[in-house]
Chain A
Amino acid sequence: MAVKVIERKPLSWAERTYLPQILSGLRITFRNMFKPKVTVEYPEERPPIPVGYRGVPTLVRDPEGREKCVSCQLCEFVCPPKAIRITPGEIPEESQYAHVEKAPKEFEIDMLRCIYCGLCQEVCPEEAIFLQNTYSVTGTSRAEFVNNKQKLYEIGGTLPDKHFKWEKKRRAAEHGNAH
């Protein structure tokens, strides 16, 4: 690598008094006073959230409104700080989604432990858990920071789904060739 030696010039007399430098600094700060402000006034104005932002992890439903999570517990195992706790449950026989077997009976994410790593979203085979835009989590007790299943679906909502995997599976089961 070529080394470029830059000669350090001795300071001129004016520079050593430091005053011209201060004056030019003052000019810069004075101009700065009239520039547009760079901050947002938070509660009223919100910053734009970039695509792929990792906010609070949530559970989502598919466009049919069915819960996608099958309680495989992969996210529970992968979660580095052990923030997720899942109690698996069975889908009752008479439900129209009965071919799925399992759904979480309870699903809790402790937001005091979550580190927003996004591993749960990455590992989920059902695309059921997503880190979405919510970034401000407040509460006055520890219990308030534990998002239960109902809350997770509430903030998660429904996301568009391209695969309709379970719809296909149901049709296959009805036509008698279950893989």
Chain B
Amino acid sequence: MDVVDLLIRFGLGLLVISLVMGVCMYSVLAERKVSSWIQGRVGPNRTTVPLIGAIPILGPFLTRLGIFQPLADGGKFLFKEDVVPAHVHKFYYVLAPIIAFIPALVTISVVPFGQYVDAATGTVKTLILANVDVGILLVFAVASLGVYSIIIAGWASNSKYPFLGGIRASAQMISYELAMTLSVVPVFMWVNAPGTEGTLSLVRVVDAQADWWFVLTQPVAAVVFLIALFAETNRLPFDMPESETDLVSGYHTEYSSFKFGFFFVGEYANMTVGACVTALVFFGGWHPLPFVTWADLAAWTGQAWMTTGVVGALLSIGTFVLKAFFFLFFFIWVRWTVPRFRYDQVMRIGWKGLLPVAIANLIAYALIIAAWDRWVS
């Protein structure tokens, strides 16, 4: 790997990170807008910037949409007084918010964004930062590190509410991690048919969904995965660690200004990765419709440009991003619909509901796949 190659990779990495950060900022805005629409309000519609805001029709339109609000929000976090309470454990107190979004940024590196056919060589290229063979395993392994930030924050804050929040977070993570991982095992059993090279790569999962999306063949797994994902990202109805009503603000009660911002953005970064993984594993990644891929479309219409070069890349990225955005919206939508569960209910759903369902699902699909391999194919 020479220097130029390294530089290109570095640049791509920075690009992806800044894109993810941008998506995070705007999902905060989306959160505020969607919540206000659902509640019959208008939402942020005042913030504006001098030059763009002055463009006749476009400026006021963007302002009313709240497009500039994230800038103001970010600026506020940056310039607010950063209070470090006297009773905290300084080192871990500062460490926690940093850990909060490192996992999200690491896992995004194994998320493929799209595919295109290189016209010169005729090979299929995948747009991904690191096409490693352990994709989903890395996602799960690193994403579960995120809970450390919550536990450390809760412990280092050295006060009751954050501590309770941290404890709840760890219990919740452990409970739902199991169901989540078990729910994707059947998917990978399906992908790794006997005789093929074994893989846990997310690219191969998408390739395997050219006809049947896994949400159609394994709906139970998809539902379990989605529910567990809500718990893993601490989104309502599972936002136990935060639960404003009984824990003030949970693990980030003692945090202010930019450190709080880190937690905040971290939550949305995790959501973004979660939405991407859901779209990839169960909803066909960059395939536009079940049974229809861009390659099929290109073959039917005889328009080769649909899969090749820049246009092909943009089309498949666009499909994938649309799906990911839909799931981001879904996260927000659910948050403003469903009330928070009580702590004991969360535990009950996790251990007595999701886990048995996930295990039953795993066994059922193991039998089905075995039978399929033996008699059908």
Interface residues of A (CB under 8 A from B): 19, 22, 25-26, 28-30, 32-39, 41
Q: Which residue of B lies closest to A43 (CB)?
A: B46
Q: How far apart are the CA atoms of A3 and B38 in the complex, in Å?
A: 39
Residues of B within 8 A of A25 (CB): 337-338
Contact, CB under 8 Å: A29 / B38: yes
- CB pair B34–A22 under 8 Å, yes or no, is no
How many interface residues does chain B have, given as a range?
10 to 19
- Please state if A32 and B338 are interface contacts (CB–CB under 8 Å): no
Which residues of A have CB within 8 Å of B337? 22, 25-26, 28-29
Instruction: Tell whether, in the assembled complex, residue A30 and residue B333 are in contact, meaning their CB atoms are under 8 Å apart.
Output: yes
A25 to B336, CA, bound (A): 10
CA gap between A34 and B37 in the complex, in Å: 7
Minimum CB distance partner of B41 in chain A:
A39
Q: Is B299 an interface residue (CB 8 A)?
A: no
B124 at the interface (CB under 8 A from A): no
A-B contacts, 26 of them at CB < 8 A, read: A19-B223, A22-B334, A22-B337, A25-B337, A25-B338, A26-B333, A26-B334, A26-B337, A28-B337, A29-B333, A29-B336, A29-B337, A30-B333, A32-B37, A32-B39, A33-B34, A33-B38, A35-B40, A36-B40, A37-B40, A37-B41, A38-B40, A39-B41, A39-B42, A41-B42, A41-B45
Closest chain B CB from A39 CB (angstroms): 5
Task: With A26-B334, A41-B42 given, name 8 new contacts (CB 8 A).
Answer: A25-B337, A26-B337, A29-B336, A29-B337, A33-B34, A37-B40, A37-B41, A38-B41
Min C-beta distance of B165 to chain A, whole Å: 24
Question: Are A22 and B338 in touch, CB under 8 angstroms?
Answer: yes
CB <8 Å contact, B40 and A32: yes
Cross-interface CB contact of B42 among A19, A30, A32, A37, cutoff 8 Å: A37
Chain B residues near A (Cβ < 8 Å): 34, 37-42, 45, 223, 333-334, 336-338
Determine the residue in chain A with the shortest Cβ distance to B237.
Answer: A22
With a cutoff of 8 Å between Cβ atoms, the chain B residues found around residue A33 in the complex are 34, 37-38
C-alpha spacing A9/B41, complex, angstroms: 37
Q: Could you tell me the distance between the alpha carbons of A102 and B223 in the complex, rounded to whole angstroms?
A: 81
One of A19, A32, A36, A39 near B38 (C-beta < 8 A): A32
Report the minimal beta-carbon distance from B229 to chain A, rounded to whole angstroms: 15
Q: How far is the CA of A124 from the CA of B336 in the complex (A)?
A: 51
Q: How far is the CB of B163 from chain A (nearest CB, A)?
A: 30
A63 CB to closest chain B CB (Å) equals 43
CA A112 to CA B368, docked complex, whole Å: 76
Which are the 8 A-B pairs with shortest beta-carbon distances? A38-B40, A33-B37, A29-B337, A25-B337, A29-B38, A39-B41, A32-B38, A26-B337
Residue of chain A at shortest CB distance from B33: A33
A32 contact set on B, CB distance < 8 A: 37-40
Distance between Cα atoms of A33 and B41 in the complex (Å): 9
Q: Cβ of A26: which chain B residues have Cβ within 8 Å of it?
A: 333-334, 337
What's the nearest-Cβ distance from chain A to residue B314, in Å?
Answer: 29
Q: Give A28 to B220 CA distance when docked, in angstroms.
A: 24
Q: Do the beta carbons of A39 and B333 come within 8 Å of each other?
A: no
Complex Cα–Cα for A30 and B338 (A): 13
Residues from chain A with Cβ under 8 Å of B37 in the complex: 32-34
CA–CA, A59 and B34, complex, Å: 46
| Chain B residues within 8 Å of A30, by CB | 333
A22 neighbours in B (Cβ, 8 Å):
334, 337-338
A33–B30 Cα gap in the complex (Å)? 13
In the bound complex, CA of A29 to CA of B236 (Å): 15
Chain A residues near B39 (CB-CB < 8 A): 32
Chain B residues whose CB sits within 8 angstroms of the CB of A29 once the complex forms: 38, 333, 336-337
Q: Which residue of A lies closest to B357 (CB)?
A: A17
Cβ–Cβ < 8 Å partners of B38 in chain A? 29, 32-33
B337 to chain A, nearest CB (A): 5
In the bound complex, what is the Cα–Cα distance between A38 and B39 (angstroms)?
9
Tell me the bound Cα distance from A33 to B223 in angstroms: 25
Chain B residue at minimal CB-CB distance from A26: B337
In the complex, A28 Cα to B42 Cα: how many Å? Answer: 18
**A34 CA / B209 CA spacing, docked (Å):** 34
Nearest B residue to A16, CB-CB: B353
Residues in A with CB closer than 8 Å to B34 are: 33
Shortest A91–chain B CB gap in Å is 51
Query: Nearest Cβ in chain B — how far from A153, in angstroms?
Result: 36
Min distance, Cβ B179 to any Cβ of chain A, angstroms:
14
Task: Using CB atoms, name the residue of chain B closest to A38.
Answer: B40
Shortest A46–chain B CB gap in Å is: 16
Contact B334 A39 (CB under 8 A): no
Please tell me if the beta carbons of B40 and A39 are within 8 angstroms of each other in the complex. Answer: yes
